[in-house]
A and B are shown apart, each in its own frame.
Chain A
Amino acid sequence: MTSKAPLVHLSHLDVLEAEAIHIMREVAAELERPVLLFSGGKDSIVLLRLAEKAFRPGRFPFPLMHVDTGHNFPEAIEYRDRRVGELGERLVVASVQESIDRGRVVEQTGPRASRNQLQTTTLLDAMTEHGFDAAIGGARRDEERSRAKERIFSFRDDFGQWDPRAQRPELWNLYNGRIRKGEQVRVFPISNWTELDVWQYVAREELELPAIYFAHEREVFERDGMLYAASEFVERYPTEEPFSEWVRFRTVGDMSCTGGVRSRAETIAEVVGEIAATRITERGETRADDKVSEAAMEDRKRLGYF
């Protein structure tokens, strides 16, 4: 190895981007039928930009898929359809409502009802129906404790289950994508990114985001110290009076489990400023689904959740 002065300065974003592009190309080359999960959320928006960088001027070697709970923020759906149109790529929509209608899952009822957990069945059914063997997703290791130990290529058995004790070692930039028929792999190209990295990248690449990521005034109500958007999808307790507040959302999950934060940040720079200064982790603050038990995410993932 040489020790002469470096010719090119590679920033952390350059290195993380190069790694993610490499991973995307490996999935495309080694798996038969990959699909990229696209929700209209910022992490999957970053994935789309990385796919452009990996495969343009060619077409993406995989379609996009949205697991639609039917309880989305309208702004996210509007964004999704427009972005897919601009890219000229194919979108598959897997609908939780259809899973309910077909009796594959039973809808929860009451004020705490959420379709979040139902997504798992819809995702697995859609992968089987379309014959997808790899799902590329935007999960990150900094989101939650059990993710810190999850591999970039995360293998699932015939039931979509994750076994943390039987993971394949990943060394250098060598990913082993070999699977048997019926098995699936989830691939996380931005595993090593943090929330701050994602925002810095959104700013650097000048990526457009759905409006809900920026402060806006909307009807909300308070539950368990979190602010939820008042909507037809969430039943409120009698004491949960909606009120108007300036909020922004840090994730675009199902409206029934995605809380907003009080904010006046209307630009990416202001949002990044708030994120860097924040003292609460992204999921701890705004995702009710992780608060159910200490090992909530680990349990859901073992069952095939993304």
Chain B
Amino acid sequence: METLDHAAFLTDEAAATELLRLVTCGSVDDGKSTLIGRLLFDTKQVMADQLEHVEETSERRGDGYVNLALLTDGLRAEREQGITIDVAYRSFVTPSRRFQLADAPGHVQYTRNMVTGASTADVAVVLLDARHGVIEQTRRHTYIAAMLGIPHIVFAVNKMDLVDFDESPFRAIETELTELASRLDVRDALAIPIAALPGDNVVDPSERLSWWDGGTFLERLETIAIAGDRDAAHRRFPVQWVIRPMSDEHHDFRGYAGQVAGGEWRAGDEVVVLPSGRTTTVAAVETHDRALDVAVQGQSVVIRLADALDVARGDMLCDPADAPVVARELEAIVCWMSERPAANGARLAVKHTTRWTRAILDEVCSVLDVEKFEQVPADGLALNDLARVRLRLAGPLLVDPYSVNRQTGSFVLVDEATNETVGAGMVLSAAP
């Protein structure tokens, strides 16, 4: 086994590579674990002791080959039952990118896991079996990826070895996928032929796919441009923590700490504090040891304001010319994640950005039939439902539609009796 070129990791460029978060969707049958194992193995991420473990286990199970799928082996219950029950997070790195992979099980009953893994993803990898083409599961995964606002989808058309690496079945699938992606308003989608088990076109190009000139699967992941996906247009800053040392040295210091949810923040910017509606300007955007020229979505910073206003955790600093809705009613898509169902009228706690309030589930308008892709009437929420609901809020939330901003458009629902997270929501529209 080769090792990585370690000199490559000592350079400034290596420390400056981007982080790409991806979610992989598919079932064991599509070869998803094999694909991930192949990615880890061919990018030299597999360590000697891990490989030894996989070789031993493969032999014990009588696999007859080194089963790379075992690299993604998780909890004992999963190994015993041969199933995946939960999202697993893994990392790997190449000289040009650092990858964070959320591996979500693909079966219908695991919609909640896919939604979880998809919530933070830049890229969704949807796996298909080249022999079966676009099936119901493919449509469901693509639908969820689109609904979660993932900007890029890579369709990995796997098991090309089982269709003799033939171009025509791939092109037929590709056409169908292009049509599916455009119907779901996916901005950027691409299909790539691979064979994960023998390793064709995953990390290394394959001569057996000589008709394909679209690059390998890994090249695609390494080159998707993600920095432009950040919401640079809507200035949003949920206040997370107020820094007020009241020490001799920093007697009058009052800084608002948080993670930028949208827009570009600079000293001098006009600000409205919601929900109070007071206005002021930004005195400084800084970290603990330096002032910043600008802060963008995703950065954790401290903002100081020109005037001493009463600002607390849960408030949001915003652009006065383009503020979110101070909402008391929401229409949203909710993924129900609890085994205990909820009926119309249910009371729940809601966490949105850094603010908690309570909500009443006024109405479940419809639930998505994930097999037929139709909204069907419903009067409650059951595990793995994707439903359109109306919520009435006890206190104001400062929201944007999810399609505008994934941070200020998302929330979780919490059962107040058990404190469990029971639902994930994406705002469609909001009213005062």
Contact = CB atoms under 8 A, between A and B. Distances in A.
Contact of A194 (B7, B93, B120, B298): B93
Contact of A22 (B151, B300, B410, B411): B300
Nearest to B338: A169
Given A171-B412, A171-B424, A172-B410, A57 B243 contact: yes
Given A176-B419, A280-B48, A7 B232 contact: yes
A254 B296 CA distance: 42
Interface stretch (B82-90, B137-145, B270-278, B364-372): B82-90
B410 A203 contact: no
Interface in A19-78: 19, 21-22, 25-26, 28-29, 52-59
B299 A176 contact: no
Given A53-B300, A179-B419, A1 B18 contact: no
A11 B13 CA distance: 9
A149 B89 CA distance: 6
Nearest to B240: A25
Contact of B50 (A275, A277, A281): A281
A28 B74 CA distance: 31
Nearest to B75: A164
Contacts of A10: 18-19, 227, 296, 298-299
A281 B49 contact: yes
Given A5-B228, A148-B90, A172-B120, A56 B288 contact: yes
Interface stretch (B176-184, B213-221, B249-257): B249-257
Interface residues of A, number: 77
A1 B77 contact: no
Interface string A273-306: 1111111110011000000000100100000000
A100 interface: no
Contact of B259 (A165, A173, A278): A173
Given A1-B151, A165-B85, A280-B47, A141 B90 contact: yes
A3 interface: yes
Given A10-B298, A168-B421, A176-B412, A276 B9 contact: yes
A177 B319 CA distance: 29
A193 B6 CA distance: 18
Nearest to B296: A8
Contact of B233 (A1, A146, A284): A1
Interface size class for chain B?
35 or more
Contact of A7 (B151, B257, B296): B296
Contact of B47 (A197, A204, A269, A281): A281
A15 B91 CA distance: 14
Contacts of B419: 176, 178-180
A11 B3 contact: no
B240 A174 contact: no
A298 B228 CA distance: 40
B76 A18 contact: no
A149 B411 contact: no
B292 to A, nearest CB: 9
Interface stretch (B111-119, B190-198, B385-393): B111-119
A279 B233 contact: no
A272 interface: yes
B30 interface: no
A145 B74 contact: yes
Interface in A178-224: 178-180, 191-194, 196-197, 200, 203-204
Contacts of B354: 26, 29
B387 to A, nearest CB: 16
Nearest to A56: B288
A196 B259 contact: no
Nearest to B349: A178
Nearest to B3: A277
B85 A59 contact: no
Contacts of A107: none
B20 to A, nearest CB: 9
A179 B416 CA distance: 10
Contact of B288 (A15, A52, A284): A52
Given A57-B245, A279-B3, 4 more contacts: A26-B354, A55-B288, A149-B87, A170-B421
Interface of B: 1, 3-4, 6-10, 14-19, 47-50, 73-77, 85-91, 93, 97-98, 100, 112-113, 115-116, 119-120, 151, 227-233, 240-241, 243-245, 247, 249-250, 253, 255, 257-259, 264, 287-289, 294-296, 298-300, 313, 337, 349, 351-354, 404, 406-407, 410-412, 414, 419-421, 424
13 contacts: A6-B230, A10-B227, A11-B17, A29-B313, A54-B300, A141-B91, A149-B74, A164-B77, A171-B421, A178-B419, A196-B9, A276-B9, A280-B47
